[in-house]
A and B are shown apart, each in its own frame.
Chain A
Amino acid sequence: MSKEKLVIESLSLTYSKGAPLALKEVALGIEENSLMAFIGPSGCGKSTFLRCLNRMNDFVRGVEITGRVLLDGRDIYAPDVDVTQLRRRVGMVFQRPNPFPFSIRENVAYGPKLLGERDKGRLGEIVERSLRNSGLWEEVKDRLNAQASSLSGGQQQRLCIARAIAVEPEVLLMDEPTSALDPMATARIEELARELKKYYTVVIVTHNMQQAARVSDHTAFFLMGELVEHGPTTKIFTTPRDKRTEDYITGRFG
C-alpha cells in the first residue's frame, strides 16, 4: 500500500448552526499518485467534501467544519496554516470552465506570477510545459496571445487544468470537470486525468458512474452527506458491500 497523501478524519460540515449536517463524520484516506473518484446523486455532499480539501468552503458564510484533514500528516485546518499556501499545493478545476478574461498565455502565467515569478523566459517555459501537460499546446502554440474565450469549451477546460498545474500543486481537485462538455471533449479530459495522476494526486467528483469506472483507481460513494462506501474502483463496481451502493451503481436511483 502506497503512502496516503490526504487523510480525512471524522469531518463534519454544516452550512449554518443547527442546520442538518451536510457532511457526517466522513473518514477517508487518499493515496498519493492515484486517482480517486467521488460519486453520488446530486446534493449528496461530494462537491462540498471536495471543497473542504482546499478550504474553498471558507468563503461560505456560516459554514462550520469539525474534524481534521491531514495533508502529508499536517492538519490543513490548524490555526497556523496559510490558506493561500495550502491552495497552491492543492489545486482545483471547476465544473464550468472558468478561464480569466485574459489571453491564453496570461491565464497560465497567472499562478506563477502570484508566486512572484517575473522572469519572462521562465514564465514562457512554465506556460509551454503546463500547456503540453494539459494536451493543449499543439492547438494553441501559435496563438498564445488570443483571448481564452476564443477557445472551445473543452479547450477552455484544458486551459483551466494547465492554469492549475502551472503552480505545480501536489493534489489536483476536479469538481465535475466534464459536466459542461461534449463526449469528445470529455474523453480528452478523462485521458488527461489518467495521465496527470503520474505527477499529482487527483480527486475527481463526477455524477457519471461510467466516468468513475473508466478513470479512477479508487471510488468513494456519498449519499446524503455520508460516505457510504469506498475502496478500489473495480471492487466498488463489481462487489459493493453496501446495499445502497449497489442500488446506486445499478441505476435504481440517482
Chain B
Amino acid sequence: MKDTDHETRGEALLSALDNSGDACPIRPNYAVFRKFADWLATFLLCSSMIFVTVVLCAILFFLAAKGGGALSWEFVTEPPRNGMTEGGIITPIVGTLQLIFVSMCFAFPVGVVTAVYFNEYARGGTLKKSLRLAMRSLASIPSVVLGLFGLAFFCTFLRFGTSLLSAGLTLGCMVLPTIVTASETALANVPQDYRDAAYALGATEWQTIYGVVLPSAFPGIITGGILSVGRVAGETAPIMFTGAVFFAPGFARGVFDSVMALPYHVYVLATAGTNIEKTTPLQYGTILVLLAVVLGISMVGMAARSRLRKDVL
C-alpha cells in the first residue's frame, strides 16, 4: 500500500517536471514589457543620479565662481578688519571649530550612552516608547526654536550667558537625535552571536557591552558623529541668540566667552554689511571655507572609521 503511494507520487512529480516547459510559457508581449520595465528602471535610476550630481556641481561651481577670488592665504589666517570689509576670517574659523568641539564633547557621549540604554537595557515598555518618541520629536524641532530654548535655558536660567558653552550645548541638543539614532542602528546590527559568545565565557552584561558590542558598533556610531559635525558647523539659528557674535576682537579663551562662527559670519556679511560690493566676495569665500572645514572633519572621521573597520571587521 505504502509503496504504491510512493510510486504514484513519484510519477506525478516526474510528469510535473516534464510539463514545466508548457505550464509556464512566456507570452511574447510580456517579454517585451519586461525588457521595457527593465530599461525604464535603469533610466530612472541613472537620471536621478545625474540630477543630484548636476545640482551639487552647480552649487559648487556657483560658489567657486563668486567666492574663489576672495580666497588667499591671508583670508584664512587673518582676522577681519575695517568693519568686515577687509582682512580674513580666522576668528570665525576658530570659533566654529570650538563650537564643534564643545557640542561634540556634550552630544557624543550623551548620545552614545542613550543609545546603549535604548538598545541594551530598556525593555519594551511605555517608558522606552515615550522616551524614544521624545527623542524623535527633538529631531523635528526647527533649529530657531532650539536657539530660543538655548537662550532661555542655558544663557538665562543656567546663567551661562551668550557664550561658547551655551551655543555648543544648544547645538549639541540639536544633533543628539542624529547621534542616538545612528548609534542605536549600529548597536542593533551587532550580531546576537557576539553577545552569546561573550556571555558564554562568563562576561557580565556590562562587560559584554563595553568589550564586545560597543567596539563592534563603533564604525556605525562614528557615522552619526560625522553627520552631526556637518550640521553643527553649518547651523546659524541655534547659535545666533546663544553665543555667536557679530564681531569679536579675538578668539574665545574660555567656554564663557562669546565666539564668531562661520555660518553666522556669512549671515552678517550678507545682511548687515555696510559695503555690499566689498563684502559679497568675502561672503562666498567664507562659505567655501565652511564647506572645506566640514569636508575636512568628515574626511578625518571617515579615515578613522575605515581604520576601525579594518581593526574591527
Chain A residues with a Cβ under 8 A of chain B: 54, 56, 59, 84-88, 91-92, 94, 96, 98-102, 110-111, 113-115, 147, 149, 160, 163-164, 167
B196, B207, B313: which contacts A114 (Cβ < 8 A)? B207
Q: Kindly name the residue among B193, B199, B200 whose own CB sees the greatest number of chain A CB atoms within 10 A.
A: B200
Q: Are A56 and B200 in contact (CB under 8 A)?
A: yes
Q: Which residues of B lie under 8 Å from residue A86 when comparing CB positions?
A: 202
| A12 nearest CB across to chain B (Å) | 23
Complex CA gap A96/B191 in Å reads 12
Does B198 make an interface contact (CB < 8 A)?
yes
Complex CA gap A111/B203 in Å reads 8
Q: Are B201 and A110 in contact (CB under 8 A)?
A: yes
| A93 nearest CB across to chain B (Å) | 8
Q: Are A163 and B201 in contact (CB under 8 A)?
A: yes
Q: Are B201 and A98 in contact (CB under 8 A)?
A: no
**Number of B interface residues, CB 8 Å?**
19
Complex CA gap A58/B313 in Å reads 29
Q: Are B199 and A59 in contact (CB under 8 A)?
A: yes
B191, B200, B312: which contacts A54 (Cβ < 8 A)? B200
- Can you name the residue of chain B whose Cβ is closest to the Cβ of A58? B199
Please name 18 pairs of A and B residues whose Cβ atoms are closer than 8 Å in the assembled complex, sorted by A: A54-B200, A56-B200, A84-B202, A85-B202, A86-B202, A92-B200, A94-B197, A100-B197, A101-B312, A101-B313, A102-B215, A110-B201, A110-B211, A111-B201, A149-B313, A163-B197, A163-B201, A164-B201
Q: Kindly name the residue among B197, B212, B215 whose own CB sees the greatest number of chain A CB atoms within 10 A.
A: B197
Q: Kindly name the residue among B197, B201, B204, B312 whose own CB sees the greatest number of chain A CB atoms within 10 A.
A: B201
B193, B194, B200, B212: which contacts A87 (Cβ < 8 A)? B200
Q: Are A98 and B313 in contact (CB under 8 A)?
A: no
Does B91 make an interface contact (CB < 8 A)?
no
Q: Which residues of B lie under 8 Å from residue A88 when comparing CB positions?
A: 201-202
Q: Which residues of B lie under 8 Å from residue A163 when comparing CB positions?
A: 197, 201
Contacts A101-B216, A102-B312, A147-B313 known; A114 to B193 CB distance under 8 Å? no
Q: Which residues of A lie under 8 Å from residue B211 when comparing CB positions?
A: 110, 113-114
Apart from A94-B197, A113-B211, A114-B203, what are 13 other A-B pairs with CB-CB below 8 Å? A54-B200, A85-B202, A87-B200, A87-B202, A92-B200, A94-B193, A96-B193, A98-B197, A100-B198, A101-B215, A110-B198, A160-B197, A163-B201
Complex CA gap A86/B204 in Å reads 12
Q: Are B194 and A114 in contact (CB under 8 A)?
A: no
Contacts A98-B197, A100-B197 known; A167 to B313 CB distance under 8 Å? no
Q: Which residues of B lie under 8 Å from residue A167 when comparing CB positions?
A: 201-202
Q: Which residues of B lie under 8 Å from residue A101 when comparing CB positions?
A: 194, 215-216, 312-313
Q: Which residues of B lie under 8 Å from residue A84 when comparing CB positions?
A: 202-204
- Can you name the residue of chain A whose Cβ is closest to the Cβ of B200? A92
Closest 7 CB pairs of A and B: A88-B202, A98-B193, A92-B200, A87-B202, A111-B201, A84-B202, A101-B312
